[in-house]
Amino acid sequence: MSMRGIDVSAHNGLIDWQAVKDARIQFALIRAGYGNDVSQKDLFFDRNIQGAINAGIAVGVYWFSYATSVEDAKKEAETCKTVISPYKDQITWPVFFDFEYDSVRYSNQQGVEPNKTLVTDMAIAFLDTMASAGYKVGNYANPDFCRNWFDMDRMSGYTLWL
């Protein structure tokens, strides 16, 4: 069985959620924010999650990571929990950790050379923090990140959004 879904953020602008529902989209993964401060909440997060829920679309969220250490990844998870807590009972899909090329660029600018061990440790710290708060969790990665940035053996217990 296949399901149709989308991922959205403020970069998508205003979304007509009824049109999304009419297009038979069954789930939406909504960016809640990025970084480790509540001021980095996605500007359209509330609008998007409320719109999707009101249209009867199942929702999950993702947090774009700029973590440079395990402690920073835990802070990001705490910030994510704060941002998404009003919707906890309505988030039926996972909360995803999203570490991408821009995350690597930022780390390098901060003098941190991320490697597979560090990136995997940060993902696990974020995901375990979210899971301990009662959320389903998962890791977002493309094939390059699965090969070169995450220890997929250590990540095997988490849902993968590829």
**Cα(123)–Cα(94) distance, rounded to whole angstroms?**
14
The DSSP H or E segment spanning 84 is helix 70-84
**Cα(65)–Cα(63) distance, rounded to whole angstroms?**
6
Residue 1 pLDDT greater than 70, yes or no: no
* Contact present, 93 and 125 (Cβ < 8 Å): no
Residue 162 pLDDT greater than 70, yes or no: yes
pLDDT of residue 35: 94
Helix (H, G, I), strand (E, B), or coil: what is residue 62?
strand
Summarize pLDDT for 130-143 with one digit per residue, the tens. 999 999 999 999 99
Question: How is the beta sheet containing 91-98 ordered, strand by strand?
Answer: 5-8, 27-34, 58-64, 91-98, 137-140, 159-161
Which residue is listed with tokens 């069954």? 26
